[in-house]
Amino acid sequence: MFEGHDTTSASLCWTLFLLGNYPDVQEKVFEEQASIFQDSGRQPNTQDLAEMKYLERVIKESLRLYPSVPIIARYLTEDVTVGEHLFPKGSNAILHIYHAHRNPKYFPNPEAFNPDNFLPERVQGRHPYAYVPFSAGSRNCIGQKFALLEEKTVLSAVLRRFRVRALDAPSDVRLYGELVLRPQGGIRLVIEPR
């Protein structure tokens, strides 16, 4: 339960921060919300959440740039060979997700915030471990689908009512990773009614 709440709230903050830095992307999210809800102030239902394709791409791109858990470790229960290197059974393997998500082979211009990285045609054929914000394999996050639905719900509620503007650029924010990736000194946003 701890992980689900802490990682999801971190992801929401990073997504709002990026949207506050990219008003054109924020406007596209708002337009998608307007097309789904028209003038209704109702809460989203399951069908509405499924229609939020662009917002989902925005969340995934935010998690690519700012994975809630930036590093994972695994204890090797058998010898593993990667290329020419043998990692013996009993070793600890560490995957730096933050850097893996910036591989230009899979994400051209890897430092740029580009939700189109998650268009279906770009995802198709991409190595399955090139993007692992929820880990992967038998130890992946069991709550990843719930987390995505939760984030869509919260972001929909916020962005239908407010504009978000970031006071700092991504290049100005210093990161520190404990268990969860956080900004040193927090994220400064201005939230204005639409």
The three-state secondary structure class of 176 is strand
Is 13 known as a binding-site position?
no
Backbone phi and psi for residue 43, each to the nearest 5 degrees, phi listed first: -75, 150
Write phi, then psi, for 2 (nearest 5 degrees): -55, -50
- Per-residue burial over 102-140, b if 16 or more Cβ lie within 10 Å, else e, is eeeebbeebeebbbebbeeeeeeeeeeeebbbbbeeeee
Burial of residue 51 (number of CB atoms within 10 Å: 0-12, 13-18, 19+): middle
- Known binding-site residue numbers for heme: 141
- Known binding-site residue numbers: 141
